[in-house]
Structure 1
């Protein structure tokens, strides 16, 4: 559920009024917060082990980021550091992990509200990169009033990165059209061989505890947080673990962990298929004879799927000698489609030479971008971290008895997007052979006693379906749902209305009214 990506939640007005009252009692007002570092006992429970209390009280040493270009004013605004946290919270005095951090200080320090922690999703994407290279996206009230702080969750970026497959093996693994279980077995064995000591400690519950140590070390009494896609699961888990420390949390592109893995896979595939069909039909309707999928909007989706599936038996050779397979073609198409209609021209431009001339370069470049493969052939960490974190979290993988009816339903409801690799479509992270399994079954996150959480869902999100936002907000004891009408994954960067609502909540503590809907830009 990677990021940068109608109906109300059925909450009665009195419930929203109670949520607003709780927000005010939890400090969700527009008043500036004191800059002085609060006493340790106000940042961590007095009952915490001495070793853990010392970590909450550590001083973060902010310095110039490595490789910073002195002539780049935007880069010069960013500071980097590391934070020490326990590898195993059951043994806080044992081995520690260095969490990579990046910060852009508030532009208006006299009116500073505190630190706003950002997470871009994944799981496995880098919050450090999000701040270093993307903080300008939050200029205005958020940057004026908050220090923008990014962090690399454990297993990702520069925080104990999980690298399981070497680059050559990853090339073969990404390109193969063999059954998904072979992929899962190869990856699980490689991760166990390289990271056996780390894998049991990569779950979101551990990362939520890291967030709380970071909050305390930053000198914040409560956590203010803006999370996208997987970041919504992290934020919700934080609210469940530390309800009394919850400040203003925004969860955009909600991930739901209340249903079994197969059910979530079917729902995600149906959402992706809706996006694919919309793109193909629009290409045929709007571009006419210029559309590589023909001029018939009813036939265009099937033609697109047949072309991509056909790469299994008739792969295309790229200029660099590499091969565009069905697996790579589908990765390219679905990744671009995840951003919605504003990215449709990119996919059409890559498809046209592939379909009409057998030129694979454009689609292969899109697949490389989705897979995190650089021009030098080296891979970033998200691919391995995605599986390691997903499998540490659950929900538990389906049994063989559960798999058969789920695959039949998948074929009926999402025949185009699932035909090339049904199991891989159903189980985006196939955890069946994974060496470590989560103990808890799927269940709603409730977070009783937390401040209100603002949950944002988009009606045609092709990655995290709108129903997931409905379920997450309904399950949370103090969840408030904001709906964006439109396609594409996550809403903040696609709607001025959503950005205004997020700013009003984070800066002034004002929640949107129940049933609020926003349009798209």
Structure 2
């Protein structure tokens, strides 16, 4: 629900580093029976991946077992590089997320024990991935940027109908739409398990994957050694209950995020007034219509773009996914308070997976938006009824809820309106609470999760036998595999060492906000501050954050000019061309950032800068990230400059 792929925002560079480390996927210690079975099924090297892929045929229509119609489901297997302790089935989020395309990136983010000691199986369920993926990025982008308001119900209903029509026209493989329910997909996975010898497996599901995992465990309990569900969906809740709880939660989390800025001296100074006033003031402006913004282009010059109320709400919602994204949003909001709306647009394009140069959908092999609706809508109860009546009912529910969620009420009804018009069979009753089994079930959630509220996790934990729960205070959506000792060591203790958690319920802690990074406008009055500010702008760039680290990247600076990033042997080369991150000040020159982590080269960033405009100069700046020392030489405003001498 709510497009909750657990780790969608992880950078693709992680996948590159994993390929360099993992080589051929580490098959030496893998389970011999699994290797033989995968080979028999036609296993071959995955494209641009260290894993082994199998295209496994399954029936299209499982209500007609005698039919010859088949589709291929792609599985990707990471064989254990050491002695295998078992097989882990890994279900990613969404629905609509491609497990195969993110497998390398995900594995590289975990403690190396996972790849060394487990054979891990990722998969693209039906309707997802290059074989039969259902995607409509143009229709999705248009719908996600369309303002929907409760005081204009006819317009909201019309937008939802238009989205569904355009999505169905745009998406390939539309013939699969009647056969995308989670129930069909879990049978596909069980057929694969049978084909590899019916081994007992561990099953991990994140976000929507927890819905998949619970349904699989309920139907095939004999298949499991253990179950780990992370960012949990309570299957007993219908659409109104699920979205209602989610909307109340995100409203509270946004208020908490804005208040956390007020409590942080740097963030509060950047905002200039209470953060809620900044947000609400901008939202009030956007309610009257989009604001036109001059957006800088990679080719130079500017394009006329619009910041809409839908984009602000979308930014606010995705900001809540973790301590890092909360700070990222606050920084962009602070820039808007200083008169610069470009950072909010940059963030919006990143969240919408839109190409900032063209405002066309950006290529994203990890996401299939048509499948999101194709799976969600049949699984819940908004589709399959009289569409117009259901849409009006959803809007009535939203009006009743709106006083509790004045900022983010769109979260409650936008997707549900689309589902009302989505072609799907009549809804079925919600399942009984997940009961667990003879295997252990580990429930993971954060109290600050915006996509799968922690109340879902508690509800599942309270009903499942042999269940344990770990709640992370202040944490993100999906908490395992982010390099934190708690919960990572608890998961590995259970799955790899056979050690059950000490208590049935435990609590971890993470700071609600990462350290706030101030905007740089006030930092450019002196040479050292300016050089550090340029490094900060590079580090905070959404374009660089989402860069694949392979193809050269050029993007516009906020007030004109460009930056180009090019992959170097051990890092990134930068070229600045009249780059104006601040009004009236242009930067030219080049730089290099090196990150090896092995001592083979000096890690850090070096910048050779020519400054023009409000200041004049030529600077050489070095930040050694191994020692955390900085230095500066050159000239600035007609004077020689060097590393400053701090005084008390």
Deviation of residue 268 (structure 1)? 0.5
Deviation of 1:292 after TM superposition, in Å, equals: 5.2
Normalising by structure 1, what TM-score? 0.79
Question: Is 1:517 the counterpart of 2:507 in the alignment?
Answer: yes
Which residue, out of 494, 500, 508, partners 2:497? 508
1:1-28 deviation digits (Å, cap 9, x = unpaired): 22116xxxxxxxxxxxxxxxxxxxxxxx
The normalised TM-score by structure 2 is 0.65
Deviation at 1:324, TM superposition (A): 1.8
Cα distance change on mapping 1:154 and 1:310 into 2, 3 Å: farther
Q: Which moved more, 1:251-260 or 1:394-403?
A: 394-403
- Residues 183-205 of structure 1: CA distance to partner in whole angstroms, max 9, x if unpaired? 33223324445554211111111
Note the alpha carbon deviations across 1:343-387, whole angstroms, 9 max, x for none. 333112322333322433x22232233223345733444322212
Looking at structure 2, the residues matched to 411 and 220 of structure 1 have their Cα atoms a distance apart, in angstroms, of 50
Aligned 1:40-439 pairs, distance under 5 A: 59-66=40-47, 68=48, 75=49, 77-92=50-65, 93-108=67-82, 111-164=83-136, 167=138, 169-178=139-148, 179-193=155-169, 194=171, 195-287=173-265, 291=269, 293-296=271-274, 300-312=275-287, 313-317=289-293, 318-319=295-296, 320-339=303-322, 341-360=323-342, 362-374=343-355, 377-379=360-362, 380=364, 381-396=367-382, 399=390, 403=394, 406-418=397-409, 423-424=413-414, 427=415, 430-439=418-427
Superposed displacement of residue 410, structure 1: 1.9
CA–CA separation in structure 2 for the residues paired with 1:358 and 1:38: 56
Are 2:488 and 1:499 equivalent residues in the alignment?
Answer: yes
Judged with a 3 Å threshold, the aligned counterparts in structure 2 of structure 1 residues 107 and 429 are, in CA distance, closer, same or farther, namely farther
- Based on CA coordinates, which of the two structures has the bigger radius of gyration? 2
Aligned residue pair count = 459
What are the superposed Cα offsets for residues 259-299 of structure 1, whole Å, 9 maximum, x if unpaired? Answer: 22112112101111122112111222214575554433xxx
The 2-side partners of 1:171 and 1:34 are apart by 44
In 2: Cα distance, 1:453 partner to 1:117 partner: 14
Q: Which residue of 1 aligns with 2:517?
A: none
Judge which range, 123-132 or 396-405, deviates more: 396-405
Structure 2 residues without counterparts, runs of 5 or longer: 9-28, 149-154, 297-302, 384-388, 512-648
1-structure distance, mates of 2:230, 2:167: 30
| Structure 1 residues 384 and 33: CA distance shift in structure 2, 3 A | closer
Instruction: Report how far residue 421 of structure 1 moved.
Output: 7.2
Q: 1:266 to 1:197 in 2, by over 3 A?
A: same
| 1:10 equivalent in structure 2 | none
* 1:500 shift after superposition: 0.9
SS at match of 1:3: coil
SS at match of 1:103: strand
Q: Please name the residue that 2:24 is paired with.
A: none
**Aligned equivalents of 2:332 and 2:405: distance in 1?**
24
RMSD, matched Cα: 3.0
* Larger relative contact order (Cα-Cα within 8 Å, sequence gap ≥ 6): 1
Match of 1:3 in 2: 6
Residue 443 (structure 1) aligned to one of 415, 431, 435? 431
Q: Distance in 1 between the 2:430 and 2:98 partners? A: 26
Query: Cα distance 1:302–1:412, how it changes in 2: closer, same or farther (>3 A)?
Result: farther
Q: Which has the higher strand share?
A: 2
- 1:81 Cα deviation (Å)? 3.2
Q: Could you report, residue by residue, the CA deviation over 1:73-102 in whole angstroms, capped at 9, with x for unpaired residues? A: xx5x33333222221223344221222232
* Alignment CA distance shift 1:472-1:286 (3 Å): same
- Judge conservation of contact 2:98–2:129 (CA < 8 Å) in 1: yes
- How far the C-alpha of 1:395 sits from its partner, in A, is 3.5
Tell me how far apart the structure 2 counterparts of residues 159 and 266 of structure 1 sit (CA, whole Å).
35
Q: Distance in 2 between matches of 1:57 and 1:289?
A: 53
Deviation, structure 1 residue 175? 1.9
- Unaligned ranges ≥5, structure 1: 6-31, 40-55, 69-74
